[in-house]
């Protein structure tokens, strides 16, 4: 299936209620499963990753002390968080996933968990899912990890750290990337009375043996924020539009999310942000920028959105901090290289961590077709080009359900025309 997407006026107007944060939802679901005190979660994300995680946690609770196989599909966060969760939960658990998931490395997390006392076997290829996990109470330990590993590995360990008999200390070798996602995890632990801290100029983290507790209010409810990563696509649409006056409801400031840096980044591309009581209002201003450089180490999920935006606005750019993009849903660097070429833009790989994007001074025809590579962020990032061309065609549009299932419906609310072809 393909969608042809167009916008008759090229003006972004109106308002939407933005989808909830997948990152925050997935963390609070693990905390809820580990907390002995019951509490309600409101505004849980409808993202496929979150739906899968919630379903598996519910099934695991019902099937205690039984050997069970759980299929996470393409949900990378679920695979990583559940690997740690099941390691500390008694019973035998088999974790598998899609063919792409079986090619996404997990050895760094497995090795760390083994150091903590976990019993994990690879069922097929060494270093990759599926996994057979024999859960038990873990002792905990002081371990060492490279600082440039996926923050999801570190967050997975931090989420189970209060359950470890001797607590957890992680010493990092080299610079720690995606630090905001780690800080999000630590802040959410603190919300539930578990305290961890950075040490020695942020080169190590420690969490002692503790217990999760909900706040003492009798009607305590955890409210999940709207998703700043998803907001980035609307910022890109605004930057590429002729005019913009648009309200996005549900976003908070300050925010737990590292991608809340979106307003600062897009101010360079003529998008002004005003915080209002129920979210934000964005509008279009004049842009004067020819060169742009940015390090995405703390916000890698924004790289594709900015790559499309800069190429479409004819801005030369240098992107750093991209080393984790190759092990996502697809090799995102190669995918960007292929698809941006359709705009006449060249993507030059400087090393494993950096690319240069050289846009074309003359855009191609009025309708372009883009592949999505089974990657939700490719689909949503390239959709913004409907503001620059008569229409764009997006292949396999259903991939957006991984993080933003309401994306296409929200586009219709904002005046986009979407045709199935």
> Mind listing the pLDDT tens digit for each residue in 301-311?
999 999 999 99
From residue 388, alpha-carbon distances to 23, 327, 364, 372, 381 in Å are 31, 30, 11, 19, 13
Q: What is the pLDDT of residue 328?
A: 64
**CATH assignment at residue 407:** 3.65.10.10
**Both 159 and 205 in a single domain?**
yes
pLDDT for 330: 73
Same domain for 168 and 258, yes or no, is: no
Contact predicate 286/213, CB 8 Å: no
Is the pLDDT assigned to residue 334 strictly greater than 90?
no
Q: What's residue 329's pLDDT? A: 65
pLDDT single digits (tens) 355-405? 999 998 777 767 799 999 999 999 999 999 999 999 999 999 999 999 999
Domains: count for the chain:
2
Is the confidence at residue 414, as pLDDT, over 90? Answer: yes
pLDDT at 213 over 70: yes
Give the span between the Cα atoms of 402 and 385, in whole angstroms: 21
- Domain limits at 339? 2-20+225-420
- Based on the fold, state whether residues 218 and 229 are members of the same structural domain: no
Question: Which residues belong to the active site?
Answer: 301
pLDDT-derived band at 223, boundaries 50, 70, 90: very high
Mean pLDDT of 58-71: 85
Computed over every residue of the chain, the mean pLDDT equals: 94
The four Cα atoms 400, 403, 404, 405 give a dihedral, to 10 degrees, of 70
* Same domain (yes/no): 279, 312: yes
* Helix axes 48-62 and 22-34, enclosed angle (nearest 10): 10
pLDDT at 88 over 90: yes
Give the residue from 223, 238, 261 where a domain finishes: 223
Instruction: Tell me which of 198-212, 262-276, 318-332, 388-402 is least confident.
Output: 318-332
Distance CA 189, CA 155 (A): 10
Task: Tell me: do 236 and 175 sit in the same domain.
Answer: no
Q: Residue 93 pLDDT more than 90?
A: yes
**pLDDT tens digits for range 150-196:** 899 999 999 999 999 999 999 999 888 888 899 999 999 999 999 99
How confident is the model over 111-136, as a mean pLDDT? 97
Say if residues 316 and 288 touch (Cβ distance below 8 Å): no
The vertex-280 CA angle with 275 and 284, nearest 5°, equals: 100
Q: Are strands 346-351 and 354-358 parallel, antiparallel or unpaired?
A: antiparallel
- What pLDDT digit, counting tens, does each position of 338-363 carry? 999 999 999 999 998 899 999 987 77
């Amino acid at each position: 299936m393909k969608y042809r997407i167009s916008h008759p006026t090229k003006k972004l107007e109106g308002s939407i209620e933005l989808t909830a944060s997948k990152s925050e939802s997935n963390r609070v679901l693990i905390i809820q499963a580990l907390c002995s005190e019951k509490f309600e979660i409101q505004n849980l994300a409808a993202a496929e990753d979150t739906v899968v995680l919630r379903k598996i946690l519910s099934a695991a609770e019902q099937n205690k002390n039984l050997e069970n196989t759980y299929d996470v599909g393409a949900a990378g966060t679920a695979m990583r968080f559940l690997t740690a969760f099941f390691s500390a939960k008694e019973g035998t658990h088999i974790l598998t996933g899609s063919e792409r998931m079986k090619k996404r490395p997990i050895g760094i997390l497995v090795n760390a968990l083994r150091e903590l006392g976990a019993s994990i076997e690879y069922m097929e290829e060494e270093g990759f899912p599926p996994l057979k996990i024999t859960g038990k109470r873990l002792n905990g330990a002081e371990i060492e990890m490279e600082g440039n590993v996926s923050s999801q590995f570190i967050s997975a360990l931090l989420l189970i750290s209060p359950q470890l008999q001797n607590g957890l200390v992680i010493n990092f070798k080299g610079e720690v990337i995606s630090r905001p996602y780690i800080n999000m995890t630590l802040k959410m632990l603190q919300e539930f009375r578990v305290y961890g801290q950075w040490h020695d100029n942020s080169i190590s983290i420690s969490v002692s043996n503790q217990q999760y507790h909900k706040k003492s209010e009798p009607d305590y409810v955890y409210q999940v924020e709207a998703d700043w990563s998803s907001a980035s696509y609307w910022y890109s649409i605004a930057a590429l539009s002729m005019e913009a006056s648009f309200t996005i409801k549900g976003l908070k400031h300050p925010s737990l999310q590292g991608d809340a840096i979106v307003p600062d980044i897009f101010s360079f591309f003529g998008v002004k942000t005003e915080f209002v009581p129920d979210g934000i209002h964005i509008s279009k201003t004049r842009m004067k920028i020819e060169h742009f450089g940015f390090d995405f180490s703390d916000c890698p999920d924004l790289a594709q959105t900015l790559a499309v935006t800069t190429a479409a606005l004819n801005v030369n750019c240098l992107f750093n901090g991209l080393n984790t993009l190759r092990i996502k849903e697809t090799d995102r660097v190669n995918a960007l290289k292929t698809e941006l070429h359709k705009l006449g833009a060249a993507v030059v790989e400087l090393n494993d961590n950096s690319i240069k994007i050289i846009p074309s001074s003359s855009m191609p025809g009025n309708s372009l077709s883009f592949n999505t590579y089974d990657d939700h962020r490719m689909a949503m990032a390239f959709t913004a080009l409907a503001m620059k061309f008569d229409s764009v065609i997006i292949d396999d549009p259903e991939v957006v359900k991984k993080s933003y299932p309401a994306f296409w419906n929200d586009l219709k609310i904002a005046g986009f025309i979407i045709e199935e072809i």
